[in-house]
Amino acid sequence: MESILDRPIEEWDLGPEPLYRRSQICHWIFGRRVTDFSQMTSLPWELRRRLSEQYSVHTLSLETRRVAPDGTEKFLWRLSDGQLLESVLIPASEGRDGMRAKRWTLCISTQVGCAYGCRFCASGLMGWKRNLTPGEIVGQVLAAQEHSRLPMGNLVFMGMGEPLANFDALQVALSYLCSPWGLGIGARRITISTVGLVPKIWQLAEDPRAFRLAISLHAPNDALRSKLMPIARKYSLQELLEACIAYVRNKGPCLTFEYILLEHVNDYPDHARELSALARRAGAKLNLIPYNPVQGLPWKRPRPTRLECFRDVLARSGCEVTVRQPKGDMIEAACGQLRLVSLVGGGYVEAQQDKCRIPTAGDRQGLQSAAEHKPFDRSMSK
């Protein structure tokens, strides 16, 4: 049965009932967290019967929940068709005073698996199964709140899948997440991540809401990026930058370039200088992400000295740069580690749903050769 949240609110079939019934239904779902239409007692009996016959309010079934020592929580949900997806609840980092803000970020998925095959990403190893519906996207937020009882500060669409490849469902889900009759989350508290689907970035730029946009860049030139990210063979950095500049022009300063650092692949000072030029041109902040090792992939996290030198090159060029602190890596919940898993005999087993070629050590050596950079020297960062 179709979830009522899979449709835009304007398309709900309420028969002859007045329009204000929509807000009443939303209050029951989002305010009182009631998912059984028969229990929505402020609605006429006939409407409750009609809704029960036509719609459901899909709820996600919690398969398992894992908590890392740093407080990060990973939820494994089972969908109505048996597919599995994950959401991750991330605590705020400790401040200089050692205190942790009461702000949590929920990382949610938009697809089961991912079709874009970034060479360093765990989600892509499983291939793509299907898009999530709007109700399944919104359901992750409702279910995480129900199970964690923690205040949500921000939402990031950085889980499994490419959000802009599921654009229509994303738009419907955002209407429920942002609207006052839904969850009322401000657009500036929502970050949408993309590998760089240029036409959809242009389309998102026309949306009146000012969502934060995170570009999964990960390489500062087309030659290297096309080896790491197949999407770069379709859209060049020039095309991507033009779309990003238009987005910032329409929305203000809300753009971030995400850059996973792979040792001896994209972490040389020359790369930092190229990255700096791109960021300054687009008006983007930079978020450096030390690679989180993934079983079956050959990439390594740079040593601290390489990371520091890379960051220093960017900072001296005038870029606003942060280094993401790894969280949840002990439970495979950190960035790039989201995987479909199933419980077999009480232990985790990867759900090998699609065969996908895993890069070998030879692939990594080829990428290093393609980079054609001299050995790292701290003096090069000056």
Q: What pLDDT score does 344 carry?
A: 36
Q: What is the DSSP string of 70-81?
A: TS-EEEEEE-TT
Is 102 exposed, middle or buried (CB count within 10 Å of its CB: 0-12, 13-18, 19+)? exposed
Residue whose pair of structure tokens reads 């580690």 in the numeric block? 337
Are 12 and 78 in the same domain? no
DSSP state of 17: -
Q: Is 193 annotated as a binding residue?
A: yes
Of 207, 146, 223, the closest CA to residue 174 belongs to 207
Q: Are residues 103 and 134 in the same domain?
A: yes
3-state DSSP call for residue 170? helix
Rounded Cα distance, 221 and 215, in Å: 14
Q: Is 114 annotated as a binding residue?
A: yes
Amino acid at the residue 222: D
* One domain, residues 356 and 317: yes
91, 159: one domain: yes
Q: Per-residue pLDDT for 78 more than 80?
A: yes
206 is catalytic: no
- Report the DSSP pairing between strands 341-344 and 321-323: unpaired
What is the band of 297 on the pLDDT scale with cuts at 50, 70, 90?
A: confident
Pick the most confident of 48-62, 94-108, 237-251. Answer: 237-251
The verdict on whether residue 121 carries a ligand-binding annotation is yes
Catalytic residue (one of 244, 254, 309, 335): 335
Identify whether residues 30 and 98 lie together within a single domain.
Answer: no
Q: Are residues 290 and 193 in the same domain?
A: yes
**In whole numbers, what is the pLDDT of the chain averaged over residues?**
86
Residues 28 and 166 in one domain: no
Is the pLDDT at 293 greater than 90? The verdict is: no
Query: Which residue of the set 17, 73, 86, 263 is catalytic?
Result: 86
Q: What is the pLDDT of residues 344-370, one digit of tens each?
A: 334 433 443 333 333 444 554 555 555
Instruction: Please indicate if the annotation marks 292 as binding a ligand.
Output: yes
Number of domains in the chain: 2
**Pair (204, 323) in one structural domain:** yes
Residue 335 appears among annotated catalytic residues = yes
Residue 309 assigned as binding residue: no
Across 324-355, b (16+ Cβ under 10 Å) vs e yields bebbbbebbbbbbbbbbbbeeeeeeeebebee
Are residues 49 and 68 both part of a single domain? no
19-49 pLDDT tens trace: 999 999 999 999 999 999 999 999 999 999 9
Q: What are the tens digits of pLDDT across the range 305-336?
A: 999 999 999 999 999 999 987 665 555 655 54
CATH number, domain with residue 177:
3.20.20.70
221 is in an annotated binding site: no
118 known member of a binding site: yes
- Global confidence as pTM: 0.88
17 and 104, same domain (yes or no): no
- Tell me, what's the pLDDT at 58? 79
Query: In this structure, which amino acid lies at residue 138?
Result: V
Mean pLDDT, residues 92-121: 80
- Residue 356 has a pLDDT of 35
To the question of whether residue 217 is assigned a binding role by annotation, the answer is: yes
Domain that holds residue 307: 61-381
Residue 340 pLDDT exceeds 80:
no
Please name the residue ranges forming H helices in the chain.
20-26, 45-54, 134-148, 167-178, 198-205, 222-228, 237-251, 269-282, 304-316, 361-371
